[in-house]
Copies of this chain bind each other. A is one copy, B any other.
Amino acid sequence: MMTAKIESFVLHCGEMGSRWGFNRTVGQILGLLIIHQDAFSAVQISDVLNISRGNVSMGIKELQSWRLVKINHKPKDRKEYYSPAGSIWELAMRVFEERRKREVDPTLSLLRHNLLDEPANPQEQYAQSKMYEMHELLETITHWAGELQSMNPEKLNTLMKLGSGVSKVIDMKDKLMKNS
């Protein structure tokens, strides 16, 4: 059914699943859908990966909450067929964004809240200075991430491929700014 190399990829996705933010089966399902050209029905997924039908349903639901799969229909067939919701690039972006929401946003809002009132003593003073530092860092990262996501892929690619050139471009920009 699956060649050795394809299978190794799918199993790898399963193992990495929890590190990427989901669980093993969700990782496997995602890997399976990415690596195959055609869409899979729930039963097919359940057969190929040897997991229960119910688990597939949960998994697909989870992948939908990450906006990583889309549903397709075939003519004369009521089943739902699942496939990746976009290119590799788009999927990666979504995972990135979703994780930012889960890993950064709650902290940002806690920090914002805790920074509202005045520190009551030197200990709190210090604590707030650290929270401020964290807040600023996370805000910058969030803003920057939004910025990157609003760029089109080619421009983003140009930027990333720039590599050490980034430094030079910034220096250049500084000089040009001074002249104006």
Q: Give chain A's interface residues, CB within 8 Å of chain B.
A: 3, 5-6, 8-9, 12, 16, 19-20, 34-37, 87-89, 92, 102-103, 106-107, 110, 114, 120-121, 123-124, 126-127, 130-131, 133-134, 137, 140-141, 143-144, 147, 150-151, 155, 157-167, 169-170, 172-174, 176
Contacts and interface: CB of A to CB of B under 8 A. Distances in A.
A135 to B, nearest CB: 10
Chain A residues touching B, majority SS: helix
Stoichiometry, as copies per complex, reads: 2
Contacts of A20: 103
Contacts of A12: 106-107, 110
A118 B169 CA distance: 40
Given A8-B114, A167-B151, A169-B170, A157 B140 contact: yes
